[in-house]
Structure 1
Amino acid sequence: MRVKEMADLAGTTTRAVRHYHRLGLLPVPPTAGRGRRDYGVEHLALLLRIRWLADGGLSLMEVAQMLDADEQGTDRESILCDLQSARRNIEERQQALRVQADRIDELIAQVADGGVLSPLPTVLARFYDDVAVRLHDMEPSARGRALEVLTGERRLMMSLASRGMIPASAGRFVEELDATERDACAQQVCAFARLDQTGRAGAVELAQESWALALRHRQGALTVLNDLPGGALGRAVWNLVGVLSTVSYPLRIHRVFTGELLDLMLADPDFAAAIHRSAGGKRVVL
């Protein structure tokens, strides 16, 4: 039979047949009249077996090993071990696909809920939108720089979200903030934008105000910290936060603010324990 006829019978393509020839999976038949290749039933049977093994989830390299072992009469235990290994590989791919499907479901829900297609959770995106609106109500001289600061923080959070490093409890935390507290958030953004003018005194005052807001929602803030991963992944989160905050807010006075705020948190035993756990016992520097 001709190559196309055999390929059709096996449910594959002539291109695949030639690929199997190149890999040595399928022997090349002798040429008949006019130089055409004449495939026999034995070729079709082998091709069907190759397709059957490949459709079962084996790589072509594994298929070759199976066929070679079978031809040489290799111990069945070796073949069984290879099949079990292939089964585990399939399970790993299935798990990866389930995770991917869950992520797609999250994106579908996010867009259906009126959000934009962004790694940032909808509740956090709406929080930043709300703070931006409140900044627009402020005096023009402070508004521009404050919006730049807010955009920088939003990008930082988006970078963390794209790596799956923002726990769901962070969304619940911002949902608890009432209108007055959101006004305070906008004021704090403006104060951060003016730190190059207000200096160390302004940085210390702002850190105390930020800490006071966190304490008004103490349990929610602790939940966010406790929901952060620990160990190596936790250290990676804190390292990334440190790098991103330095890039987004490069002035030395910005480090004064983050250092003061971190000191206030570490002075509280519960917050200190949560931070040390998630940082894997390593010293945190922001």
Structure 2
Amino acid sequence: MRVKEMADLAGTTTRAVRHYHRLGLLPVPPSAGGRRDYGVEHLARLLRIRWLADRGLSLTQVAQILAADARGTDREAILRDLRSARENIEERQRALREQADRVDELIARVAGGDPPSPLPTALTCFYDDVARRIRGLEAPAGDRALQVLTGERRLMMTLAAREMIPASAGRFIAELDAAERDACARQICAFAELEQTGEAGAVELAQESWALALRHKQSSLAILNDLPEGALGRALWDLAGVLSTISYPLKVHRVFTGALLDLMLADPDFAAAIHRSAGGRRVSL
């Protein structure tokens, strides 16, 4: 039979057949009249290749099984390959389930009127709420404060896209009452005025931010304790440092982030959580 006939019978393509020839999986038949003449034995071999591949085996594993069949030995090697293939399939299934969960989250967000964004809904609502409160303050630095808030939102969106924001961040936000959210709005305005208030203003603002974290110490610690460890944890802190430097480039901004980090590291509980996630490396923001 011709290659097209055999491919059709096996439910595959002539291109796949040629690929199997190149890999040595399927013997090349003799030619008749300038065309390859495939026999039943070639069709049987092709069907076996397709059957194994459709069950999740790689072509390398297919080749090993076919070679073992030819030798009539090495059953344990075949079992290892099959078990390995099974594990690979289960891993892909887990990945697909996680992907389906993420799509479900997007469906829920859009159905609820939110944009399809990697930022958790709780953070999106929080930033929207703080923006409204900033506008309500009618502060001289209101426009700059909104720009600062937009920059922080982008920073958090970058971390969220890397799946580096734990769910406990939403629980922390849920604890903030109206007065504390007003305080957050005022702190954003104060940050926008740091060029005028200078280093003294930066240190004072860091102390106010730290006081808010301490009022919700358990929730704040939960966020730090939920951060990844090992290589991913180090990557998170490296990325946070880079993003912080880009987002807050002025010296007075560095005074604020440095003072806030110093306050956190001076607390044994916060320091332990930070060092655990950062793998003992020196952290800078």
- The interval holding the TM-score normalised by the smaller chain is over 0.9
Q: Deviations over 1:214-261 (max 9, x none)?
A: 222222212212222233332322222111101100111111111211
Alpha-carbon separation, structure 2, partners of 1:113 and 1:60: 45
Question: Is contact 1:165–1:237 with CA below 8 Å preserved after alignment?
Answer: yes
Query: Which residue is equivalent to 1:4?
Result: 4
Query: Conserved in 1, the CA contact under 8 Å of 2:139 and 2:189?
Result: no
1:168-211 deviation digits (Å, cap 9, x = unpaired): 11111112212221111111111111111111110111111111
Map 1:1-286; keep pairs closer than 5 Å. 1-33=1-33, 35-139=34-138, 141-286=140-285
Indicate conservation of the 8 Å contact 1:29/1:37, yes or no.
yes
Output the CA distance in 1 between the equivalents of 2:267 and 2:27. Answer: 74
Which deviations, in whole Å up to 9, do the C-alpha atoms of 1:133-155 show, x marking residues without a partner?
A: 22223437412211121111111
Mapped partners of 1:249, 1:135: distance in 2: 19
SS, match of residue 284 in structure 1: coil
- Comparing 106-115 with 237-246, which one deviates more in the overlay? 106-115
SS at match of 2:228: coil
Distance in structure 1 (CA, Å) of the matches to 2:160 and 2:273: 20
Q: Which amino acid aligns with 2:55?
A: G
Conserved 8 A contact 2:119-2:156: yes
Secondary structure of 1:164 counterpart:
coil
CA distance in 1, matches of 2:59, 2:165: 40
In the alignment, structure 1 segments of 5+ residues that lack a partner are none
CA deviations on 1:57-111 (whole Å, 9 max, x unpaired) are 1112221222223223343223222222222222222222222222222222222
- Structure 2 residue identity aligned to 1:18: R
* Runs of 4+ with deviation above 4 angstroms: none
User: Does the residue aligned with 2:36 lie in a helix, a strand or coil?
Assistant: coil
Alpha-carbon distance in 2 for matches of 1:270, 1:78: 51
Alignment size in residue pairs: 285
SS at match of 2:141: helix
Q: TM-score under structure 1 normalisation?
A: 0.92
SS of equivalent to 1:137: helix
1:147-168: CA deviations, max 9, x gaps? 1211111111111111111111
Task: For structure 2, list consecutive stretches of 5 or more residues without a partner in the other structure.
Answer: none
Does the C-alpha gap of structure 1 residues 79 and 231 become closer, same or farther in structure 2, counting only changes over 3 Å? closer
Q: 1:216 to 1:70 in 2, by over 3 A?
A: same
Question: Offset at 1:56?
Answer: 1.5
Q: Give the residue type in structure 2 aligned to 1:10.
A: A
Q: What TM-score, normalized to structure 2?
A: 0.92
- Residues of 1 paired with 2:62 and 2:190: CA distance? 66
- Could you tell me how far apart the structure 1 residues matched to 2:217 and 2:60 are? 57
- The answer to whether the 8 Å contact 1:225/1:275 transfers is yes
Check 1:263–1:47 CA distance in 2 against 1; reply closer, same or farther (3 A cut): same
1:110·1:121 contact (CA, 8 Å) conserved in 2?
no
In structure 2, how many angstroms separate the alpha carbons of the residues matched to 1:255 and 1:94?
A: 45
Identity of matched residues, % = 79
Residues 50 and 63 in structure 1, CA contact (< 8 A), matched pair in contact too: yes
